Structure 1
Amino acid sequence: MTQQQQPPSSNQPLPPVRPTSFPPQHQDRQPGLQAVMNPIPQSDSPVYRPAGKLEGKVALISGGDSGIGRAISIIYAKEGADVAIIYLNEDEDAQETKRLVEEKGRRCITIAGDVGDPAFCLKAVVQTVKQLSKLDILVNNAAEQHPQKTIEQITPAQLERTFKTNIFGIFYLTQAAMPHLHKGAAIINTASVTAYRGSPNLLDYSATKGAVVSFTRSLSMNLADKGIRVNAVAPGPVWTPLIPSTSDAPQVTTFGSDVPLKRCGQPDEMAPAYVYLATEDSSYMNGQVLHINGGEIING
């Protein structure tokens, strides 16, 4: 039997089982908490094989305490990066992410605050550079959503809050990071499938994610001469604290079942794209969006 024909080794980790349905659940707070979700989102894939692709790098990740942000933090640590995570007030989730990063042998600092505040964004970047010495990768991932059935139900306060977190926060954090980014640095933004196909109950959220796509494309051209690449990831339905904190309990049970793969994604299925976009593997990719959405065809 040739080497190519050898059966898989019995000691190789098996791919995780991906849930296709969930128990009814709802959290009466935003941001939601990952620690109380059932099941806990999958953040650390047992089959991912790191290769030291981010050795010696420093990454700042907004929304890094849970969901996709936690998975990015873990996979970056696996690849050799030290990590700073920004979160609003989910202290328990943030400390768990810190523990998981440090378990991989990397440094992690946690920074609590509101990315919608430009003064805080400046403080977060300064703290990152002071404690971790530099900044190579900025991941703009923090977001919030507030479903409403009609446009009339979206209050001025909600509209402003959603835009402040989802798009103003990206501007503020990127502006604060720019003096510390250098040739070869990467900026990665989290967009959404809703930016391309819309969402009838997420009018303001979808609008902000459309803005993220346009910002990504425009900033990539603006920074090309500096050798700083800007790209984005547009996840489809993903099992994160946003879901039980913004959906009715019965809605949660079938979350994500309407895509071709018939299930929602898990955070650890998103994270490798953020590694790719942060490394020289994607050296000829700029101003682009990777679509990880369970098979939904998006022409954009």
Structure 2
Amino acid sequence: MAEKAEPAPGMASSAEVIGAPCWVSLMARDLQASQEFYGAVLGWSFHQGKLGDEFSVAYQDGSPVAGIGALAPRLQMAISWTPYFAVANVDVSASRIRERSGTVAVGPLAFPLGRGALAADRDGAVFGIWEGARIPDWQSGHKNAPAWLLLRTRSAFEAAIFYGEVLDWASEHPGCCDVRYEDGEVVLVSHGHVLARISSGAEGAAPDPMVRPRWDVHFPVDDVDATTRAAEERGGEVLDRRITKAGKPEAALRDPDGALFTITERL
């Protein structure tokens, strides 16, 4: 059995907040080009992480917000942003995924600060699970949180049951996240803060990746228009512009590698 990792100074354990989003990562075809794009568009700076030269951690205002790694050239796979969720035991959660007809594609594997696995739910939406040290801001849900998530899936109700059973949502586990239903969506909540939403209507066989089941990562920005212009100037593509139910502008973007993400006006 792998040795249990202890949280690093200034970090907490994933066991303290169960089932909450705790990180997002991107595997890019060209690490340097990806860093240049996101640095210019979202204002991130980058520092080498503990996983080697081919991985870096993005920082904003001195706080870590995301990870970017270089995809091995031999791997032919779609480039996408992947969210990770905190779990108390990655082996147990991986077993639950398999038992519920999901797929565990990679892991569980040991890393310097914990253990993780990469998986897909029954509709093919990719996500990760993480046991170990976490960054407190990632699970706070407050206005300065690095990102929030939206799962576009075939059935929000069925997806909520799957993730609830895998991640201990709305369970008796201390520190677990709650779920509620509002405006046609399932909402993941912790201490009164919204961490993620699940929306129905995705089509599994759709040729357009925008409408296939997937976790959509939303990054808050100060100026949506300025950010979209910066993305276009650096080879990105604006796929959609809209106004949220809260009256805030947001835009769906695609980076030069093809990874989809959304920017939304900061609260």
More strand by share: 2
**Structure 1-normalised TM-score?**
0.28
TM-score, with length taken from structure 2: 0.31
Which structure has the larger Rg over C-alpha atoms? 1
Structure having the larger proportion of residues in helix: 1
